[in-house]
Structure formats: structure tokens, C-alpha cells
Structure 1
């Protein structure tokens, strides 16, 4: 089996009245993350029918690259801010491609 990297879907839901603040924090992750070694794709989506619902769709070259991202200073800084802005911890799911 060849290493096809890892795909991630990470969902964060804003607390009532905190949508704009959460969006700003999450948007602040996009550019620095895209510059990280091993980042193939990193997109932030906002649900069209429920604006409190944000989802990152990510592709990484390896588990090690993703693990490094999870320890990056910009992500750690955002995680400190999330408890006051999000209803729960992010729902982070790792996937591999099924051929």
C-alpha cells in the first residue's frame, strides 16, 4: 500500500453571537498553514444554511506533516481562543483515500 497522505475534515461550531469572532480566528489559520511543509490543501468553509458551522477540508502529505501542523504556534494560539468562541472542541476526523 502506497502512502497517499491523509485527508482531514475538521468542524467547529460558533457560540451564539460569536460567528464573526470565530471566523476571524479560523481565517487567521489559512495562510500560515498553507505555507507549512506537507500541506497540500487547506480550505475553510462556512455552511450556507447555518453560518455558525465552519469546516476545514485539508490534505496533508503524511501523518507526520499533520502532526507537526497540530503543534504549530498559530494553531496552538487559535486553540486557546476557541473555548470562548466555539460550542465544543473541534471535531477533527482523519481519512485515507479508498481506491
Structure 2
């Protein structure tokens, strides 16, 4: 299992424009066969800060995801929206257990 966690930021004034774009990439990614989970969440206390969490079946699937048309489009659109502060980490993990 591959776990991806991190964050990025949009200017708070651009969030209304960013939400539908984020929704498109989330929906397209969740439809990928080997995507286990793919989530963006707005930080309640820090407007414009987006938290990322993803789970993939393998690193190869994550790498393939990064080459999809919707990710290429997302990279272009997020730059146009003023994305900054992107900090994303990738981890290898077991299946996990409930807390």
C-alpha cells in the first residue's frame, strides 16, 4: 500500500474558483482502477490550505496516475489558480489496523 499525505495552498480569494477544479480531479482520480482513496480537505482554521491524503495499491499505480490526462490538466490549472506551498510525502505502508 502506498500512502500519500501533504498539503498545498491557494490564495483564499481564489477558493471559489479552485473548488470545482479540485472536484474534477478528485472524481477522475477516484475512478482510476487502483486508487483506494483520494481526498482533499480544506483546513477549517487556515483559509486556502488544502490537506491531501491518498492511498494506492502500488507505487507503479501512483506513478501511472501522475501521467494521466486529468493530472496533466490539474497541474496546469492549479498553477493558474496560484497554488503554492506544495508539500507532499509518499510512504510505503502495510494495510493498517483500526485505531
Q: TM class by shorter-chain length?
A: 0.7 to 0.9
Q: Who is 2:82 aligned against?
A: 86
Q: Report runs of 4+ in structure 1 exceeding 3 Å deviation.
A: none
| TM-score calculated relative to the size of structure 1 | 0.83
The size of the alignment, in residue pairs, is 95
**In angstroms, what is the RMSD of aligned CA positions?**
1.8
Per-residue deviation at 1:36? 0.7
Gaps of 5+ in 2: none
Unpaired runs of at least 5, structure 1: none
- 1:74 matches 2:70: yes
* Alignment CA distance shift 1:87-1:43 (3 Å): closer
2: CA distance, partners of 1:12 / 1:26: 12
Higher strand share: 2
Corresponding position of 2:16: 20
Give the structure-2-normalised TM-score: 0.83
CA deviation vs aligned residue, 1:56-97 (integer Å, no higher than 9, x gap): 210000001001111111111011011221342632210123
Query: Distance in 1 between the 2:51 and 2:26 partners?
Result: 12
